[in-house]
Structure 1
């Protein structure tokens, strides 16, 4: 009689239909890369699962596997085994399809799983989008066209001030200093005047405004600012000796058409 020959696939299908008391044969579709599985002697059912996603509730690493207890979005809890990996409890993970096994005994863990899925691996999570670039800081407001020190912050011309000019080759009135500022730039000068304003603690300097009665308020040539390290008294008539600077810009709006810096102030 002619013998019949069954294809391997037909044989597997036939075996899945017939109920047997002996252990099921090891399947031929174990995911590539998995360590060798020691199959239990109990009755075992083999079928393919779909991919799974959920939150990791527990992780057991043993025998080259990571056994993951996963909470699915529908509330169902399943055990999944993958090649050992670094997995944190609480993180969301997705797993590829795999082999479903019932009554699987892990000898290394010394426990039997009612149902466990040997997954083909973890599905790589998409990388988080890079945070949007921080916009550049807003540009500082445009500098005032009028120098703060020369016009905005100066004292108005006080009435009744008339201070005699200092003596010496470098002595000038305030009006003369403004008039000759280009020639006197970066040179030592001497000037007398009455202190009409004192401000300390700015840029580690003391700032004084003096007037001698000369100059024009309309032209801004009546008030002279000087920086010093001493703190003279308001309304004192003083002699100021220092270096004249023309068009001095300290930034932050502190700009002066004329200023005397590093001055010594004496009564």
Structure 2
């Protein structure tokens, strides 16, 4: 009986240790503002500063806009966007998980300042519908209205769209975010967001091929019911 009691006690203690270990490796809360990390490693590239950091015993990678960062120092940041299997071309390295941070400072970031400084990939305010835009689709292509109207039919498929660039956000989360309109409109949806490694200028009419993704959630409130990813400009 004594041996059984000892075995049961050991089992309880072991289970408790396993539970504590699981709790210690939980990922950071990407929706909270004003968090603190200690920097363990710094890698500089032309556009980003990659940081291996520790927060509450958890070690992970984050990326911020290029800036001087000191190893061993404590820094504060706001909400982070989690990216899985992110490939850095500059480093020729794939990060299993990395967090992209907009506001990063040695001084605590107030909630008001952090909220104001957050830059959205697409900008939550959709660009106004431009009635003057009237772009014909290319042969074999699809209009923006048709894409939204039959989005389930296009999910996961590669499509070709043609439209006028109305907004560009450069180099956010390792990609450029292009907004196009072609003059078509389905149920108030007329603005299409495309991620791409290539760039175009506002006002330019472009033809782009890419893959349709539905219900894309980048975290921290950045959700798209439809987006075209890995877009490439067609000559």
Quick check: which one's strand share is greater? Answer: 2
Rg larger in 1 or in 2? 1
Q: TM-score, normalised by structure 2?
A: 0.47
Q: TM-score, normalised by structure 1?
A: 0.42
Quick check: which one's helix share is greater? Answer: 2
